[in-house]
Amino acid sequence: MAFNKKVKKTKRQLSAAVAHVKSSFNNTLVTITTLEGDVVLSGSAGKLGFKGSRKGTPFAASQIANALSKDMQGMGIKTVEINLQGPGAGRDSVVRAFQSSGLHVSALRDVTPLPHNGTRPPKKRRV
C-alpha cells in the first residue's frame, strides 16, 4: 500500500468577496464567497450557539457578521459586495456590522425571489 503524502492547505489571499445573506424569520445564514462563487467562509446563528427564537434576532445576525469579518480580515479581504435575501430581521444588522468592522461595502443587492404570477389558486369553495 502506497503512502499518500498529505498536502498542506494554503491560506487564501483575497482582496474582494461577496457576502450572501439569507435572512428568514427563524435564522440568518451568511456565506462568504469569492467573486467567482467559490465558498470561502460560512456562518449561522446556530453555529454561534444561539437556540430557538433567538436565532432570528438582529443581535444574532450582527454577531455572525462580526465573527466572519475577523476571519475575512485575516484573509486580506477589504471590500465586500452583499446580496440580501429573505424578509428576516437580520438583514440590516449584518450590513451595519460589516461596515463597523472596517470592511468597505461596495454593493448592496436585494436578491429575494419574487413570483411573477405565483402558483395556481385553490379551486372555489362549494358550500
Is 95's pLDDT higher than 80?
Answer: yes
CATH number of 16-110: 3.30.420.80
Q: What is the pLDDT of residues 58-91, one digit of tens each?
A: 999 999 999 999 999 999 999 999 999 999 999 9
Residue 1 pLDDT level (bands cut at 50, 70, 90): low
- Cite the DSSP H helix spans in the chain: 58-75, 91-100
Q: What is the pLDDT of residues 3-57, one digit of tens each?
A: 788 877 777 788 899 999 999 999 999 999 999 999 999 999 999 999 999 999 9
Whether the model clears a pTM of 0.85, i.e. scores above it, the answer is no
Angstrom CA distances, 45 to 23, 49, 121, stand at 11, 7, 35
